[in-house]
Structure 1
Amino acid sequence: MEVKNKVVVVTGGANGVGRELVLTLLSKGAKVAAVDIDEIGLRETFTISGKNQKMSIHITDIAELEQVEALLQDVLVEHGQIDVLINNAGIIQPFLNVDEIGKEKIDQIINVNLHGTLNMVRVFLPELKKRPEAHLTNISSMGGFFPVPGQSIYGASKAAVKLLTEGLYAEMAGTNMGVSVVIPGGIATNIMKNSDLGINVEDVNVKTTKFLLTPKEAARLIISSVEKNKFRMFIGKDAKLMNVLYKVSPKLAIKLIGKVLRVN
């Protein structure tokens, strides 16, 4: 699919990879509905875009179904159609074991990462299916296919997104709908800060950050999942390596990631 002149809805558009998705799509001639709960961040994205009139901003909590239903109508009023949905919004958890993390935080992670993605899919899918050509991309995580110590709840939510997307791919086979799941490794964003962990990407070990994807490169690869109609895409050297290693020896992969986390 060529994204030029297509209407693309991007969640998490206020910062990080979501912001780069919005900016890159605009540079390719797409019309973009940028969605986030962070109004200030969305307006910053709009300003950075040069106040591009092909971009609209929509302050929405995707975990709330009624807000997502209202969002659909707002996007249709603004753009008249919806061709692509990229579910990028998500939060991680504090690095705590399962028995140490509070229920309120667990609910927040599940509500945003899983229910938020599911709300967007269920509400927007009927409109996407009306288009002669449409695409849906969900962002899972490297933590969604193998366990990261201290991120078990986050990993469970992203594993659910992975399987949900693969199920959608099966359900949409033979239709006008392309479906992709993107599985990133580490990305140099402030998701840790924005998820109330009190950590900036600058605080992470320099030896680690040099192996992280930049948000701009991650956005480029995610958009290519739409353009090339990819079923599944691992992005980042770490995600690709751990995918291979986990298939060969799950125990070794778990020990390795534990060692890396202890070092950093």
Structure 2
Amino acid sequence: MALDVAGKTVVITGASAGIGRELALLMARKGARLALLARRKPLLEELAQECGAGSQAMAVQCDVTQRPSCQAAIQTVVSEFKEIDILILNAGMSMGCYFEDIKDLADGDFMLSLNVMGVANVLHYAFPFIPKVRGSRIVVISSIAGAIGVPFRTLYCASKWAVNGFCASLRTELEEAYGENAPKVVVSCPPEVATGLNTNRLKFGNEATAQFDEKTAASPTLAAQLILDAICEGVRIGFFSKMHAWLHSLYACCPSRIDKMIIDGVKKSHRAPRYGNM
């Protein structure tokens, strides 16, 4: 039976914009109690107001790369809501350059800290307050780039492959420890979504980054709905299309053919200095 989020306490990191923001609005309409986490508290406060007077939505400032900030944020949440039924680990950043074009690796340090340890940091402090029942959810917003290789995304792919492996391991631990009562670990692998994540990519010392054509991207509203569907169904790893699921399934069998398909697709959907179309 699909999970009903009404009355559930939902924590969303990276809630101030993009997919996180859309998920908050969607879950507020479904009757969830929301803790909205991000660095920019004024935007969170605006979002909490937009969620509506009928919903319980609290804005909590949190930098997921800083453990004291994560600990304080979770303590604030549980002091109000007592426990966390659904934890959505959404905060992250992307990149848009070839590895050989990187001029400053400092952006890589930040992105790995945000995309990988940002997941572990928040989960570490939230874990004791997640009920160990099958209706609980630990949700990580990964990427199709966490399942297959994609040009312009070397270190981004590294970060998303890392969290996919983290979730696979975590799932086995929960199943061993709690059996049928294990919380569901849900990994969502969106394609390009028309959000600031993809229009404000880390530059790694370059003047410009590869940018996608928004006409080829999924809308944040559609992304939020598909992710919510996966959360409610407890999907292990969710893709936005049968094509992406197929690419993931066959990647180990015919990687060269899929690599070519991905390269051709990115050339059609992206503007980049390397392509001479910016």
Structure 1: which amino acid aligns with 2:196? N
Match of 2:166 in 1: 164
Q: Return the alpha-carbon distance in structure 1 between the equivalents of residues 100 and 128 of structure 2.
A: 37
Q: Give the C-alpha shift of residue 143 in structure 1.
A: 0.7
Map residues 219-234 of structure 1 onto 2, 5 A cutoff.
Answer: 219-234=224-239
Q: 1:253 to 1:20 in 2, by over 3 A?
A: same
Q: Which of the residues 258, 261, 266 maps onto 1:261?
A: 266
The alpha-carbon deviation at position 52 of structure 1 amounts to 5.4
C-alpha distance in 2 between matches for 1:233 and 1:111 = 24
* Contact preservation (8 Å) 2:19, 2:223: yes
- Residues 187, 212 of structure 1: 8 Å contact kept: yes
Q: Structure 1 residues 211, 241: CA separation in 2 closer, same or farther (over 3 Å shift)?
A: farther
Corresponding letter in the other structure for 1:42:
L
**CA deviation vs aligned residue, 1:78-101 (integer Å, no higher than 9, x gap):** 222211101111100232315625
Q: CA RMSD in A?
A: 2.5
Deviates more, 1:43-52 or 1:13-22: 43-52
Cα distance in 1 between the residues matched to 2:44 and 2:261: 38
- Alignment partners' CA distance in 2, 1:176 and 1:241: 28
Whether the 8 Å CA contact 1:193–1:199 is kept in 2: the answer is no
Query: Shift in Å at residue 217 of structure 1?
Result: 1.5
Q: Aligned in 2, Cα 1:238/1:106: closer, same or farther, shift over 3 Å?
A: farther
- Distance in 1 (CA, whole Å) between partners of 2:186 and 2:134 is 18
- The aligned residue for residue 36 of structure 2 is 34
How far apart are 1:235 and its partner, in Å? 1.8
**Partner residue in 2 for 1:115:** 117
- The answer as to whether partners of 2:96 and 2:209 remain within 8 angstroms in 1 is no
Whether 2:185 is the aligned partner of 1:179: answer yes
Match of 2:62 in 1: 60
Gaps of 5+ in 2: 271-278
Secondary structure of the 1:172 match is helix
Distance in 2, matches of 1:242 and 1:101, equals: 32
1:136 aligns with 2:138: yes
TM-score (norm 1): 0.89
Q: Compute the TM-score of the two structures, normalised by the length of structure 2.
A: 0.84
Determine the C-alpha separation between the residues in 2 that align with 1:250 and 1:127: 41
The answer to whether the 8 Å contact 1:212/1:236 transfers is: no
Q: Percent identity?
A: 28
Aligned pair count reads: 260
Alpha carbons of structure 1 residues 232 and 102: separation in structure 2 relative to 1, 3 Å:
same
1:48 CA displacement = 2.7
